């Protein structure tokens, strides 16, 4: 809980208030008078400042630390309203409106605050109406942050690395991670011993509220303002330094050597015993594999032992793995969302080729139906060449279309399942090198289903179960069909999860009026059939399944403009000339995807210097 600060810092209140937008235009006399009204307060990490529904009797200025405002009654994806950084106000709206607090505010780090009573604040506003303009601007910024799609990573994050197995090579990971983070800006790695060398503070004596603690927090805050990122290397045991690192961190990396059993350190016991708050630091599992590892295995046991926001697979000798982790930690991850589209989805193979040739990384990939398939192969660690070869073999040299007695579906799906077995074997989604999910639809509850765990092959089979072509899949009691009906291009989910940049690839366009106009001319089945088979009777008439498939994708077309505005890069290869079931056009369709994506990615590289640094 919040308490008076026993040993207030010697910082100048005048300077602190001048840095606060709302008070920046007060006269020196008013600043001096205001300073006399302020109370120094201390709020430990994960403690609550006030709760939703409380009366608004004070506002607070954040001097150091970090707070987060959230609505505990909102759905998880809408719960967090925003973060309160040093120099910012919190609690002022309830004072202005007279309403109860609209959100709960909790400390993400050990924080020092200045409290101002309601009566004194209202007197200041009455004498300085311009303060209301600053408050209005602050309110609009917070509304925008609360309604934005992604929860942004801090610009300059504090990252704690905590070993959760005895063999975890935290120092080696920190060295490599520091090297990669340094390409984005100055980075600092801090052990407990470094604190004594830097500021003469013994971390064992820096208890919350003491002068030593305040000195340590201020030193970190000063370093943070000059650094791209700071790595806090926690001890293996449950020491004061370990607890301090976890309390201060924006992200806590739980570092494990996969050859060990989960747990076995004081840090792991601390993290398991106390868990994490619903809104506080991000907890991310980093599983360190031997460099020769082809595909991770057994990830589920780690996720069951340590509930986390996300997990990463890294090999210390693979720079690409460490660099991918650095992008995630600094809000620079690249997400790739691939739409469904039956045979038109072959274009995704060409898009993957364009990414590979331009050197733009993919950190998260997701998709629906055919997008789920090729996205899954990319997440598996396959190169463009391997994916193209597998696709050519499956769709050109052979066929996944195995006709059966059409009671539930026209195709048995056995060939598709055999193809998925050859590609993925028993790989689980959580074992893939890249973060991955795919979309399906639940026939029982009529909701979209995001599949993030379990058998990769079965997940893709579920996402590809086009009604009428393939039978539904029973997965954990859910009857699943192709995700195209409710979320054929999951770009919004990808954007929220990656917290970086998002590229969406849509292979679905509206029906070409010239191509489909024969349908509008009507006629009975005989005249339609004559036009279909007689080249001298006019234009092509789409077969029945092409018409049905085009109707399936109407929601994708309807949502395309919204998705285009939402993402950082939108790629839409023109695929109307390819039939939805034209499997033998694999190579040509893949080339169309490549020719659409390559120039857009090259322009993205030229126009955005940050992309070139990824």
Domain count, the chain: 3
pLDDT band (50, 70, 90) for residue 540: very low
Residues 462 and 503 in one domain: yes
Q: What is the pLDDT of residues 173-227, one digit of tens each?
A: 999 999 999 999 999 999 999 999 999 988 888 777 677 887 888 888 888 878 8
Decide if 456 is inside a domain: yes
SS3 of residue 451 by DSSP: strand
Closest CA to 489 of 467, 505, 510, 468: 505
Question: What is the predicted pLDDT for the residue at 541?
Answer: 44
- In this structure, the answer to whether residues 322 and 430 fall within a common structural domain is no
596: pLDDT confidence band, cut at 50, 70 and 90? very high
Distance (Å, rounded) from C-alpha 164 to C-alpha 592? 48
Task: Please say if the pLDDT value at position 46 is more than 90.
Answer: no
Question: Does residue 322 lie within any of the structural domains?
Answer: yes
The count of other CB atoms within 10 Å of the CB of residue 130 is 12
Residue 420 has pLDDT above 50, yes or no: yes
Same domain flag for 165 and 265: yes
For the cut 60, the answer to whether the pLDDT of residue 130 exceeds it is: yes
What pLDDT digit, counting tens, does each position of 447-475 carry?
Answer: 999 999 999 999 999 999 988 888 899 98
Say whether both 431 and 565 belong to one domain.
yes
Percentage of the chain with pLDDT > 70?
Answer: 87
Residue 175 lies in a domain: yes
Q: Which of 283, 301, 330 is the last residue of a domain?
A: 330
Residue 357 falls inside a structural domain: yes
The reply to whether 545 falls in a domain is no
Q: What is the pLDDT of residue 145?
A: 58
Mean pLDDT of 118-145: 71
The bridge status of strand 229-233 relative to strand 187-190 is parallel
Q: What's the CATH number where 595 sits?
A: 3.40.1090.10
CA–CA distance from 608 to each of 309, 599, 600, 603 (Å)?
29, 14, 12, 8
More confident of the two residues 282 and 528 = 282
Is residue 136's pLDDT more than 80? no
Residue 453 shares a structural domain with residue 583: yes
What is the predicted pLDDT for the residue at 278? 45
pLDDT tens, residue by residue, 278-305: 445 689 999 999 999 999 999 999 999 9
pLDDT band at 49 (very low <50, low <70, confident <90, very high): very high
Same structural domain, 143 and 164: no
Please give the pLDDT value at position 537.
43
d(CA 32, CA 26): 10
Q: Which helix (H) or strand (E) holds 473?
A: strand 473-475
For 468-498, how does the pLDDT look when each residue is reduced to its tens digit (9 = 90+)?
888 899 988 889 999 889 999 999 999 999 8
What percentage of the chain reaches a pLDDT higher than 90? Answer: 48
360 phi, psi to nearest 5 deg: -75, 125
Question: Are both 235 and 261 inside the same structural domain?
Answer: yes
3-state secondary structure of 462: helix
| Closest C-alpha among 220, 223, 237 to residue 168 | 237
- Please tell me the least confidently modeled range out of 270-274, 284-288, 327-331: 270-274
3-class secondary structure, 216: helix
Tokens 């910024």 belong to 141
Question: Quick one: which of 466, 440, 468 has its CA closest to 454?
Answer: 440
Q: How far apart are CA 73 and CA 177, in angstroms?
A: 37
Q: Do residues 376 and 291 share a domain?
A: no
Q: Does residue 65 sit in the same domain as residue 123?
A: yes
Give the model's pLDDT for residue 577: 87
What is the CATH number for 83?
Answer: 2.60.120.10
In a domain, 537, yes or no: no
Residues 490 and 508 in one domain: yes
Q: pLDDT category, 534, cuts 50, 70, 90? A: very low
pLDDT, greater one: 75 or 544? 75
Domain that holds residue 228: 158-330
Model pLDDT, residue 569: 97
**So what's the pLDDT on residue 52?**
92
Is residue 542, in this structure, part of any structural domain at all? no
Written as six digits, the tokens of 401 are 């279309």
Domain contains 531: no
The answer to whether residues 304 and 162 belong to one domain is yes
Mean residue pLDDT of the chain comes to 85
Q: What pLDDT does 18 receive?
A: 78
Residue that terminates a domain, selected from 282, 300, 330: 330
Domain match, 505 and 592 both = yes
Q: How far apart are CA 389 and CA 426, in angstroms?
A: 21
| Top-confidence residue, 321 or 153 | 321
Question: 10 pLDDT band (50/70/90 cuts)?
Answer: low
Average pLDDT, stretch 135-143? 66
Residue finishing a domain among 266, 299, 330: 330
């Amino acid at each position: 809980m919040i308490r008076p600060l026993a040993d207030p810092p010697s910082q100048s209140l005048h300077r602190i208030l001048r840095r606060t937008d709302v008070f920046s235009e007060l006269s020196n006399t008013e600043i001096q008078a205001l300073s006399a009204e302020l109370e120094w307060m201390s709020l430990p990490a994960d403690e609550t400042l006030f709760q939703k529904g409380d009366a608004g009797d004070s506002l607070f200025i954040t001097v150091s630390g970090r707070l987060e405002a959230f609505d505990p009654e909102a759905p998880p994806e809408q719960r967090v309203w925003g973060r309160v950084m040093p120099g910012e106000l919190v609690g002022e709206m309830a004072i202005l409106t007279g309403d109860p607090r609209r959100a709960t505010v909790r400390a993400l780090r050990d924080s020092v605050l200045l409290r101002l009573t309601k009566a004194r604040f209202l007197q200041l506003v009455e004498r300085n109406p311009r303060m209301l303009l600053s408050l209005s601007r602050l309110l609009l910024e917070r509304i925008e942050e609360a309604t934005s799609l992604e929860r942004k990573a801090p610009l300059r994050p504090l990252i704690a690395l905590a070993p959760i197995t005895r063999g975890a090579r935290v120092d080696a990971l920190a060295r490599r991670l520091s090297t990669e983070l340094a390409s984005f800006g100055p980075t600092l790695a801090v052990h407990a011993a470094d604190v004594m060398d830097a500021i003469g503070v013994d971390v064992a004596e820096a208890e919350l509220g003491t002068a030593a603690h305040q000195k340590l927090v201020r030193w970190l805050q000063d370093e943070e303002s000059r650094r791209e990122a700071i790595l806090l290397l926690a001890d293996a045991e449950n020491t004061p330094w370990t607890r301090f690192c976890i309390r201060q961190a924006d992200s806590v990396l739980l570092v494990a050597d996969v050859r060990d059993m989960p747990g076995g350190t004081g840090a792991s016991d601390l993290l398991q015993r106390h868990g994490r708050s619903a809104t506080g630091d991000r907890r991310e599992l980093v599983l360190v594999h031997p460099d020769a590892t082809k595909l991770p295995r057994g990830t589920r046991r780690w996720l069951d032992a340590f509930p986390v926001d996300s997990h990463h697979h890294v090999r210390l000798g693979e720079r690409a793995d460490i660099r991918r982790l650095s992008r995630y930690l600094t809000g620079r991850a690249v997400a790739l969302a691939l739409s469904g589209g039956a045979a038109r989805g072959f274009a995704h193979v060409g898009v993957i080729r364009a990414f590979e040739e331009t050197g733009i990384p993919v950190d998260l990939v997701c998709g629906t139906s055919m997008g789920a398939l090729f996205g899954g192969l990319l997440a598996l660690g396959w190169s463009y060449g391997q994916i193209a070869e597998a696709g050519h073999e499956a769709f050109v040299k052979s066929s996944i279309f195995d006709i059966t007695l059409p009671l539930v579906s026209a195709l048995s799906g056995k060939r598709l399942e055999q193809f998925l077995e050859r590609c993925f074997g028993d790989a689980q989604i959580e074992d893939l090198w890249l973060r991955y999910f795919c979309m399906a639809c639940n026939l029982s509850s009529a909701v979209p289903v995001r599949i993030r765990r379990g058998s990769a092959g079965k997940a893709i089979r579920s996402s590809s179960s086009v009604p009428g072509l393939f039978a539904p899949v029973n997965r954990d009691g859910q009857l699943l069909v192709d995700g195209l009906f409710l979320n054929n291009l999951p770009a919004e989910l990808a954007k929220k999860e990656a917290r970086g940049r998002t590229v969406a690839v849509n292979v679905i366009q509206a029906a070409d009026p010239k191509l489909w106009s024969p349908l509008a001319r009507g006629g009975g089945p005989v005249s339609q059939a004559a036009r279909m088979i007689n080249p001298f009777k006019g234009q092509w008439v789409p077969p029945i399944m092409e018409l049905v498939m085009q109707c399936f994708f109407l929601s994708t077309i309807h949502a395309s403009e919204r998705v285009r505005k939402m993402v950082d890069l939108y790629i839409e290869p023109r695929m109307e000339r390819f039939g939805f079931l034209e499997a033998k056009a694999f190579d040509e369709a893949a080339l169309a995807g490549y020719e659409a994506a390559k120039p857009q990615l090259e322009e993205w590289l030229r126009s955005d210097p940050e992309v070139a640094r990824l």
